[in-house]
Chains A and B, each alone.
Chain A
């Protein structure tokens, strides 16, 4: 039954899945609990345009897409710090403009050799070796970032003014968090899909905060549960021949519903 594990592309998909799930779960509490959950969704839309531009201008789409989406994330961050636009409006603005530009380019480019559906849904089993390396790199960067700045990120998340008072460079840390999220999204979009990548960021904290009182445990449980769910998703999706990204989101949802149903049975 587990014969499919002997295939190189499956092993590669598992490595990418684990790396992306861990990266997203590590970022999750600092975004979701800080009312920035939608930034992942917005940046996924931006990366649609980024990847299309990348395919058009170079052989390696990610070399163009990564800086493109990182710049867009910094623009969203900047716009949300100016008092004229709210954070969620800034995300909506930048992401919809990028998505629109992406669609126009696809329509107007002759012989564009990529299906829009594959970009929206993603495919983990067709990922390249360089995407696997990038996934591991992003995991390394995010792990180091969270380990090194954990206390500062926690203070920024729960009390921004106190973090400023404590002389934490909240602006620099905020930009770094945005840039790393952008990096993660671009790499993840190709494998999980534009429409579902934000689920990897949103679900870990939403699930783990149902079962623990502490911030640190929210992070740890989120990472652990994501790891299990993503691996389960790959194992279920392959034999059933259904998209991995969608399978993962469905399992996340089942776990979330189960926890909420069983929650009244134990005291938080």
Chain B
């Protein structure tokens, strides 16, 4: 599904990532960890096509990608409703959403426990509520590859747990490939997933079980 070969990313003289090589099978879950400024978000940006690598080859075999960025929209005076933002996640968009499309949006809002916000203004929402809206935007058109850049950073702890349960559920149902950047592995991890430790390059890539050993050898993630 995802294949990186000798990928380097530089900004002028600064090398953000070097010699990145990995392969991820369809349907896998990959958690990316690493210290602040280690290049995690840079890696994600190359994955979603927002950043071209300085050299190397990236191959992604996904029909449709869903993406939840780390920095969410924060234009304070932007008039836009929850429905308008989620609708922009649909693959095909009309001037006026159909009844079925509105019902689908409503179902997702219920699943995220924010069904009362359908026609609410985005600027009236809390950070956590906004993040749930952007997550629905990423999921609404059933992507086969879902990329989440620190999705729980603005969520309150009680919803964080639910968020990961929901993610597990979606992964089980849709069999989508998930790439997830996080600071906190503890909530997120299931035994059969992969973990990547990034610090300008890949320092570790393997199963969660093996990651324990890597950590015990003296490496600590964020």
| A residues whose Cβ falls under 8 Å from a Cβ of B | 33, 147, 150-151, 154-155, 157-159, 161-162, 164-167, 208-209, 212-218, 268
Contacts and interface: CB of A to CB of B under 8 A. Distances in A.
4 smallest beta-carbon distances between A and B, as pairs:
A213-B121, A151-B93, A215-B80, A209-B79
A167 B93 CA distance: 14
Contacts, number: 67
B121 A268 contact: yes
Contacts of B137: 162
B67 A162 contact: yes
Contact of A155 (B49, B88, B121, B124): B88
Contacts of B85: 158
B48 A165 contact: yes
Interface in B42-89: 48-50, 65, 67, 69, 73, 75, 77-81, 83-85, 87-88
Contacts of B84: 154, 214-216
A165 B48 CA distance: 6
Nearest to B123: A213
Contacts of B124: 213
A161 to B, nearest CB: 6
Secondary structure at the A interface, as helix, strand, loop or mixed, is helix
Given A213-B119, A214-B80, A214-B81, A161 B69 contact: yes
A45 B79 CA distance: 30
Nearest to A159: B73
A155 B73 CA distance: 11
Nearest to A206: B77
A165 B80 CA distance: 20
Contacts of A155: 88
B120 interface: yes
A30 B196 CA distance: 40
A155 B86 CA distance: 11
A33 B75 contact: yes
B134 to A, nearest CB: 9
